[in-house]
Structure 1
């Protein structure tokens, strides 16, 4: 398997200027009701991420980092506060609009890969463009280009069970890239990988960052978190600044 190749940012229309804040949370709180009890998962969280930044978010189990990821990824909405993605107020959107934001502006990379087993790598990467209504010939070429960028040009016709774990995760990264999203949101992307595949995927994220991509990485592994430019530590539903990951294992 060849290693990841240098990734060039695809041509796109006018977007955020370098250094411009593209992800902004202002005094965001999230409260879940459980019978007569209220669980304050996030409390007064403010966060800004500029275009081209590589940020990791770490914290122990129950810290609120998963809730924070769900809000950033438009998979959940805040109880209070404001969230702007690319200058757009996410909190004012309905479910249809949120689905469109998830498909067009956010590229997701999950721990479980979430590839459809019956489809080839090429077809899996095409899926976000299918949902976006992109013409077949255009989406097919863009999917091939994305797989080429992650070093899998020779695996386009392979199904997930014909690929290693590291290769499957690289297909997932290609799928995240294919729509040229504003943000790549990676949730424990190395959690199911051996050490060799972990190094491969982290090198790929490094190259994405070097090419100008904006990455937010959720992880419980300090060594993984250290790859980012800065680390946000979450505890008891609050952000404690841009801290270095705590030494030793962190319970996710």
Structure 2
């Protein structure tokens, strides 16, 4: 019998409260979520449901007010700012709706940036950036700047950048929000391929057809998980 995959993400009783003067707003109410290594999970919810807050906590961009978040067994809540920065750089690959590419740099230079921050040598950075672009089908676009690429190609560069550090987790926040239908399919096909290769993917989206590509769908409402179901593609 094959053993169950190890949990990569473990959230227990996660609560997030924002305070401004005497005003308090609780965005998450005691959220419990476990994601195993190699899972492909979509998180859905309407505006104000708490999905962006949850994404920020998963990505170590924010910390919970209460509860415990373990990433690969490590308690994120007990980490220093320096340790959190290292986790964001080395353990998590981010893909955002806005791409966040530097317009003056060619594709390979954009992709190598996380390795620059990690102190990787120049030749190794170039080798890994080119290999990552090859992986997403842009081996012939290494020297193209973002303005010379379509929206779908720019998002593929962003995915290559997310992959270049070989992270434990790919965290994609509305990755198809700025793309046409054809480019959306291309990027979702790429995420499917990464999942099939064993990557753990958490996808934040408000679009039902995008979420359906995941193998598991969590729905948030008013800061609570209201359903946890298998995706259409599972």
Shorter-chain-normalised TM-score: which range? over 0.9
Q: Tell me whether 1:237 sits opposite 2:223 in the alignment.
A: yes
> Is the counterpart of residue 221 in structure 1 residue 218 in structure 2?
no
Q: State the alpha-carbon separation in 2 of the partners of residues 196 and 244 from structure 1.
A: 25
Q: Determine the structure 1 residue equivalent to 2:89.
A: 103
Question: Is 1:50 the counterpart of 2:62 in the alignment?
Answer: no
Corresponding residue SS for 1:231: strand
Contact 1:143 1:174 in 2 (8 A): yes
TM-score by length of 1: 0.89
More displaced stretch, 52-61 vs 92-101:
92-101
Q: Deviations over 1:47-89 (max 9, x none)?
A: 0000110000000110000000000000000000000001111
2:98 is equivalent to residue 112 of structure 1: yes
Match of 1:125 among 111, 117, 125: 111
Distance in 2 separating the partners of 1:218 and 1:18: 25
Q: 1:18–1:52: 8 Å Cα contact kept in structure 2? A: no
Where in structure 2 are there 5+ consecutive unaligned residues? none
1:82 aligned to which of 68, 71, 77: 68
CA distance in 2, matches of 1:18, 1:154: 40
> CA deviation digits over 1:16-66, x for unaligned, max 9?
x97110111010100001221210100100100001100000001100000
1:183-202 alpha-carbon deviations (Å, 9 max, x no partner): 00000000000000000000
Distance in 2, Cα, partners of 1:73 & 1:122: 24
CA contact (8 A) 2:111 2:161 kept: yes
Structure 1 equivalent of residue 153 of structure 2: 167
Alignment-derived partner of residue 138 in structure 1:
124
8 A Cα contact 1:33 1:39, kept in partner = yes
Secondary structure of 1:119's match? coil
Mapped to 1, the partners of 2:221 and 2:5 lie a distance apart of 28
For 1:241 and 1:234, the matched residues in 2 are separated by 7
CA distance in 1, matches of 2:211, 2:125: 33
Please list every run of 5 or more consecutive structure 1 residues that lacks an aligned counterpart in the other structure.
1-16, 246-252
Question: Aligned pair 1:64/2:50, yes or no?
Answer: yes
Aligned to 1:6: none
Moved over 6 A (4+): none
Rounded Cα–Cα distance in structure 1 between residues aligned with 2:96 and 2:51: 15
What is residue 30 of structure 1 aligned with on the other side? 16
Q: How many residues align?
A: 229
1:78-106 Cα distance to aligned partner (Å, 9 max, x none): 00000000111100011111111000000
